[in-house]
Structure 1
């Protein structure tokens, strides 16, 4: 591979923003990519993928490079040199790489790769928690969560179907694969900027992980029903619910952030959806008004996000164990509060993008044993694991109100 100095410099700058300034990786990368309009898709892809890879393996690369945070400029260049060497490429003859100990880099990798915390590049506390929560499964799962995520599309059934969309994407030189486990999904064979296609601007698809696409289906909403999406966010699952309901009935999408609901409104226009009503949650009045009136409730609860580390590798370095303890309390509060909106015979789905039982099965069990959960019974639950199912990690439980 031939390396270009300005692209590696852009990577170094993105790493500085992420590691030293605490910026989110996706935002830091997007800002860097706007720097030079002459960069083509391959250039932009190199910056993004290289940055994500170094973020993903920060602890491993920093150990091999013998550098510590906060990283100086030369330290960040050392991280890129480790990345280049471990990928099997020759280092460019640049001043930044002068006297880089290539043989020592390879030797140091052999030394540390037996240690899972170093090999998979995770904080000590996360490794300990992973073993406690998942036992022997943790080793396989964290390895899978360090792989680059596939780009998956969800065909918008209000405007197209999977077969037609797949054919139209060929015209955009985007090749895809289907998976019978995920009926609305198309998996890109190679990464591409699908947001620039007319198919996206016309609302024929959304970008949504295959595992995430199962959650709306798990609720099994019917046209004409009243459904509440309690933690809608920007509305990926809300839009899927609307498509399954054929734009009939009503979906009440709530969130505590107006900016996310504004984004949902923008996405509904593109998708051709008109049965969604957004409501900003500022008090408990909304829940009280809807008590016993919903056919279905989706709680896509806030969580640690450990099931989606492939997409958000910087979360490994931002997460703290105290936050996970706090979010568990929030999860149970949401279950206790929102469950009141489900009418007799209605259905509630509790879902997270975590693979830890303490955020999943334990929360459901606690709820069902509580006064608020006394009228509910568990119909089914399942966990998606990256190492077994090939996509992001998710949990979902479906409960019926008696």
Structure 2
């Protein structure tokens, strides 16, 4: 691989914004890629994938490079040099990369790879938390799986098209996909490409959604004609899947604390041809109370640590703090206690997170069932998905029924 100075400098700029300025990696990549309209698909892919790679392995690379935060520009080039050496890329003859100690880098890598917190490039507290929650064997397997690059998975919008027809249309646009056994609406890209520029995307024939996330809506068993509430809808990935499960019939209420996210959902719903969705911002407790005992189905896709989606959000390892995990667990239980009141007798509710920690998942459900508000509910089934066994995101889902 021949390195181009302007592309490498773009990576260094991106790393500075992510590491030193605390900006989110996905937003930084979007910003940096707008710098030069002459960059082609390969150039843009190099910037995005190299940046994400160095973000993913920040602790390991910084340890090898003997670089410390806040990173100076020379330190960021040292991180980049480590990335080059460990990938067998020839170091160019640039002054920023002069004197790169290739043998020492390889030696330090071999040495540090024997220690899990360095090998998997995670903070000390997170390594201890994961081992305590999952046990050493499972945590070792899981964090290794979560450090692999996420594959691009599409969800067929069955309101508009069948999966086989979508696959053929995408092939005509130069995007080859494969089906995934056990995931009826999913297509996996054979090769990473920008699917958002395709006519199929513009026509609302698919959404990008990880395979594990695609299991949540079917778990709720929503039927056409029901009143369904998605109480933590966000930008609506699962809301749109629920709409397809409901065949665009009935009433689907998408709720969130943030109006800005619901606005994005409206745009996506129009593109998807979804017309049974209405949005409601949760700006007071009255919004929830108005829906007490009214929903036949209720989805609580609760905010969480996000430890199951490190594949696609590697920068969250560096933003996450132990105090946040404790705080978000209180939020989760509050959502279970209060939002569950929207479910009517005989209805079904799914509590879901993109976490692998039992204290955010099974233990939260158990706490709820043992509480006064949870006495009318029973656990029908639950499922914990691990990246190490599925190959996709880590997820948890619990289906609860409100007894008559």
TM-score bin (small chain): over 0.9
Does residue 19 in structure 1 map to residue 19 in structure 2? yes
Taking only aligned residues, the RMSD between alpha carbons, in angstroms, comes to 0.5
Distance 2:110 2:190 in 1: 32
Deviation at 1:181, TM superposition (A): 1.1
Name the residue aligned to 1:364.
Answer: 365
Name stretches of at least 5 consecutive residues in structure 2 with no aligned partner. Answer: none
Distance (whole Å) between structure 2 residues aligned to residue 269 and residue 81 of structure 1: 46
1:87 aligned partner: 87
What is the match of residue 109 of structure 2?
A: 109
Relative to the length of structure 1, the TM-score reads 0.99
Task: Name the structure 1 match of 2:68.
Answer: 68
What is the aligned partner in structure 2 of residue 41 from structure 1? 41
Q: Partner residue of 1:327?
A: 328
- Post-superposition offset of 1:290: 1.0
How do residues 349-388 of structure 1 correspond to structure 2 at under 5 angstroms? 349-388=350-389
Matched residue SS, 1:178: strand
Paired residues for 1:306-317 under 5 Å: 306-317=307-318
Structure 1 counterpart of 2:210? 209
Task: Name the SS of the counterpart of 1:28 in structure 2.
Answer: helix
User: Which runs of structure 1 show a deviation greater than 6 angstroms over 4 or more consecutive aligned residues?
Assistant: none
* Counterparts of 2:33 and 2:363, CA distance in 1: 42
Alignment match, 2:260: 259
Corresponding residue for 1:229?
A: 230
1:77 matched residue in structure 2? 77
User: Aligned partners of 1:298, 1:138: CA distance in 2, in Å?
Assistant: 28
Deviation at 1:123, TM superposition (A): 0.2
Q: Which residue of 1 aligns with 2:176?
A: 175
How far off its partner does 1:220 sit? 1.0
Q: What is the CA-CA distance between 1:252 and the residue it aligns to?
A: 0.6
In structure 1, the residue matched to 2:139 is 138
Distance in structure 1 (CA, Å) of the matches to 2:384 and 2:166: 29
Q: Provide the C-alpha distance between the structure 2 equivalents of 1:341 and 1:258, rounded to a whole number of angstroms.
A: 20
Residue 289 of structure 1, CA deviation:
1.2
* Structure 2 partner of 1:5: 5
Secondary structure in structure 1 of the residue aligned to 2:212: helix
Aligned residue runs from structure 1 range 221-300, under 5 A:
221-300=222-301
Q: Which position in structure 2 is the counterpart of 1:339?
A: 340
Cα deviation, 1:275-316, whole Å, max 9, x if unaligned, reads 001000011112211111100000000000000001000000
What SS does the corresponding residue of 2:3 show, helix, strand or coil?
coil
Q: What secondary structure, in the 3-state scheme, does the structure 1 residue paired with 2:252 have?
A: strand
How far apart, in 2, do the equivalents of 1:293 and 1:111 lie? Answer: 60
SS in 2 for 1:399: strand
Task: Measure, in 1, the Cα distance between the counterparts of 2:71 and 2:292.
Answer: 53
SS in 1 for 2:183: coil
Q: CA deviation at 1:38?
A: 0.5
Distance 1:269 1:173 in 2: 26
Long gaps (5+) in structure 1:
none
CA distance in structure 1 between the aligned counterparts of 2:388 and 2:96, rounded to whole angstroms? 38
SS in 2 for 1:184: strand
TM-score (norm 2): 0.99
Q: How far apart, CA to CA, are the structure 1 residues paired with 2:205 and 2:238? A: 15
- Paired residue secondary structure (2:62): helix
Matched pairs, number:
402
Task: Tell me how far apart the structure 1 counterparts of residues 321 and 22 of structure 2 sit (CA, whole Å).
Answer: 14
Which SS does the other structure have where 1:310 is aligned? coil
Q: For the residues of structure 1 that align with 2:350 and 2:239, how far apart are their CA atoms? A: 13
Where does residue 56 of structure 2 map in the other structure? 56
- How far 1:180 sits from its partner (Å)? 1.8
Deviations 1:299-350 (A, max 9, x none): 0000000000010000000000000000000000000001111111100000
Structure 2 CA distance, aligned partners of 1:216 and 1:286? 23
